Amino acid sequence: MYEDKTLVCKDCGNEFVFTAGEQEFYAEKGFVNEPQRCKACRDARKNASKEGRQMYEAVCANCGNVAKIPFKPREDRPVYCSECFAQMKQDQA
């Protein structure tokens, strides 16, 4: 049904492949436009907005390691490092 397509990134001008699987995913999600940027340029664009983000340090309520978080921790709520948070999410599923 879908076939791989070669597209040109609008940022860097390099060619990239829009795979059949990606096309199927886009169709399932109802996306009508093809991607305009390669993976590297999409990642760079996504991470550019994170550079200005203020990070805070907190102690993980589960393992005790220091965790960097993008919000100011509150005394009345536990904070978890990314590993413990992911494990807790997995255990709930």
Least confident of 29-43, 46-60, 73-87: 46-60
The two tokens of residue 2 are 């879908």
Q: Which helix (H) or strand (E) holds 81?
A: none
Cα gap 66→37, rounded to integer Å: 36
Q: What is the pLDDT of residue 10?
A: 96
Instruction: Read off the pTM.
Output: 0.53
Integer CA distances (angstroms), 8 to 29, 47, 61, in order? 22, 21, 47
Between these two residues, 55 and 60, which has the higher pLDDT value?
60
How many beta carbons lie within 10 A of that of residue 58, not counting itself?
17
